[in-house]
Amino acid sequence: MNLGGKRFAVLDARAAVFEKLLEHDKAMRDCKDCIVLDPKSNKPYLRASRICEARQQPEKALKFLKHAIQVTPASQLDPLRKRLPALQKLV
């Protein structure tokens, strides 16, 4: 794993911890850093979507979820597509 991959892994893990601790600002910052490091990974977009949903920001949550869907392999799309209708109702 290269340095960028290690940094991504550390930031992703830390974002997960911050999300569990309800430290949404810190978690979101790490998600955005992960997106810069690997814009083709769906993990930071999904986490950012959940954080925005918890913050009562459905428009942003939907935006992140749609981006996650764009970068997710077709074989893994079903769980993501199931979240769409609920978020779309909130917007």
**Segment among 30-39, 56-65, 79-88 with least mean pLDDT:** 79-88
Mean of the per-residue pLDDT values of the chain? 93
The predicted pLDDT at position 4 comes to 72
The predicted pLDDT at position 90 comes to 84
pTM given for the model: 0.89
Task: Summarize pLDDT for 16-56 with one digit per residue, the tens.
Answer: 999 999 999 999 999 999 999 999 999 999 999 999 999 99
Per DSSP, the residues of 20-81 read HTT-HHHHHHHHHHHHHH-TT-SHHHHHHHHHHHHTT-HHHHHHHHHHHHHHS-GGG-HHHH
**DSSP state at residue 91:** -
Q: Which residues of 13-52 are buried (b: 16+ CB within 10 A; e: fewer)?
A: ebbeebbeeebbeebbebbebbbebbeebbbbbbbbbbbb
Look at the alpha carbons of 54, 60, 62, 66 in this order and tell me if their dihedral is positive or negative. Answer: negative
The share of the chain scoring above pLDDT 90, in percent, equals: 74
